[in-house]
Structure 1
Amino acid sequence: MDFIIWVFTNIGMGFVNLFYVIFNPSAWLDWSDKTAMVRFIYYGASKELFFVIFDIFLVMTVVGAFYRKFLWAVVRGFEAFANTVGRFFAWASLFMVLQQIMIVFLQRIFKVAEISISPFGYAFTRDLSWYGEELKFYNALIVCLAASYTFVQGGHVRVDLFYAGMRHRAKRVVDMFGSLFFIIPFMTIIWMFGWFFMWRHLVTPKVSVADSLELLERKARLLKWNVETIGFSPNGFDAYFLFKILLISFAGMMFIQGLTFFWRSMLEFIEGEASAGKYQQLDESNDETAEIAAAAH
């Protein structure tokens, strides 16, 4: 009973907090005030933020159930966003290959030790080992920022024992269940721990998921930027804080896609089998087997 009261209390407070952050942006966006900055850090992975998002989700779901054109527009918008971001950062694979070829030629044939790039008159000089380790960053870009795109395209791996043989509405029920109880919870956990993991490498003193708001506010007067620039080798890639930002980006985009997939499944459940795959922007493929597999899902 106490848990139910706690849930409904936080749902109600979610609306209060939503209006508060809208009408009091300086309380969390004015980073010249270190107290506002620690509030941003704390609330960025808090139950308060979760229930604000949950309230928005509830409102949009209820409204969308009655005004399906509105919810279809939301689904199309989020899927278009995932597709656009994924298609753009998929080009990182080409840059990764070209850079690897360049490194091999310069290091093995021309015996070059470093590369200088001078756009707009500013010289950016790094050792070849820096560019070699940077390849991992390209790979992380593809994995983190194209994951939701892959999900939209149906390119993720599934172990299918029963799903393909189910009827349309049964599939949609399974999809809604998977969104609510697998995608969204797991992405929430990754976000909550990844958020503080990221900030631990951006500011000092270190912050932790276990820190209370009161403790963080006491730390505020000592707070300062301390961006991690330590590499695994003396001349290696030294911007590993970007990987932490990518982790958060991955969790955020997949969380949004989890909500989007729930709404799509709900709408397809309501409208029937004729709406399956409605408005989906799928890439064309010459792989007939892959297309059949995607259609089955």
Structure 2
Amino acid sequence: MLGIADTLDGINRAIAAVIRWLALVMVLVQFGIVVGRYVFGVNSIAAQESVLYMHATLFMLAAGYTLLVDKHVRVDVFYAAATERVKRRIDIFGHLFLLLPSMAALLFWSWPSVRNSWAILEGPIAVGGIEAVFLLKSLIPAFCILVMLQSIALLIRLFAEEQHQ
């Protein structure tokens, strides 16, 4: 079972290794937009939207990796002072009854919008923008799936640790 967890971890690690470069590209493009606008008086709505697309891609596709490396937001009212065993049980509860159901619900309820967007190849957000809103909306199910896969990998490890205690 730990091999499955390692494979699921590997998926998020591989995606993070690729999309981390979007942060640098996003900063460079934004710098170019500012220089273009204020130095040369040139403006591009598509370039501005590209920053939005890159930010959304970075945020949505890196969420599973963020969960993997335990850098996600945690409300640790009880968690901080808990023993390792209690922390493990809180994590198991959180994954089974909060994270996985909420990701499944988001996936279920967003799918019609994503499907419809692909059916019409939904166009730009603004006139002159990037004609690929359908790709932007596709980040929602990708986000859900990557977070769910990572949650399953973490659950496998948590249950394995519970058995060894």
TM-score range, shorter chain: over 0.9
Aligned length: 165
Q: Which residue does the alignment assign to 2:96?
A: 180
Q: Which residue does the alignment assign to 2:40?
A: 110
Percent identity between matched residues is: 28
Q: Distance in 2 between matches of 1:161 and 1:81?
A: 31
Q: Does 1:228 align with 2:158?
A: no
- How big is the alpha-carbon RMSD for the aligned residues of Structure 1 and Structure 2? 1.5
Whether contact under 8 Å (1:87, 1:146) holds in the other structure is no
- State the shift of 1:171 in Å: 1.9
Whether contact under 8 Å (2:125, 2:133) holds in the other structure is no
Q: Which residue does the alignment assign to 1:156?
A: 72
Greater share of residues in helix:
2
Higher relative contact order (CA 8 A, sep 6+): 2
Q: Distance in 2 between matches of 1:105 and 1:84?
A: 33
Question: Could you tell me which of 260, 280, 284 is aligned with 2:153?
Answer: 260
Runs of 4 or more off by more than 3 Å in structure 1? none
Q: Does 1:98 align with 2:14?
A: no
Counterparts of residues 124-143 of structure 1 (less than 5 Å): 128-143=44-59
Q: Distance in 2 between matches of 1:236 and 1:130?
A: 4
- State the shift of 1:190 in Å: 0.8
Counterparts of residues 263-274 of structure 1 (less than 5 Å): 263-272=156-165
- State the shift of 1:135 in Å: 0.7
Q: TM-score, normalised by structure 2?
A: 0.92
Whether contact under 8 Å (1:168, 1:269) holds in the other structure is no
Look at both structures and tell me which one has the larger radius of gyration over its CA atoms.
1
Greater share of residues in strand:
1
Q: Does 1:199 align with 2:115?
A: yes
Residue identity in the other structure for 1:96: M
Whether contact under 8 Å (1:191, 1:248) holds in the other structure is yes
- Unaligned stretches of 5+ residues in structure 2: none
- Unaligned stretches of 5+ residues in structure 1: 1-70, 114-127, 204-225, 273-297
Q: Which residue does the alignment assign to 2:134?
A: 241
Q: Does 1:87 align with 2:3?
A: no
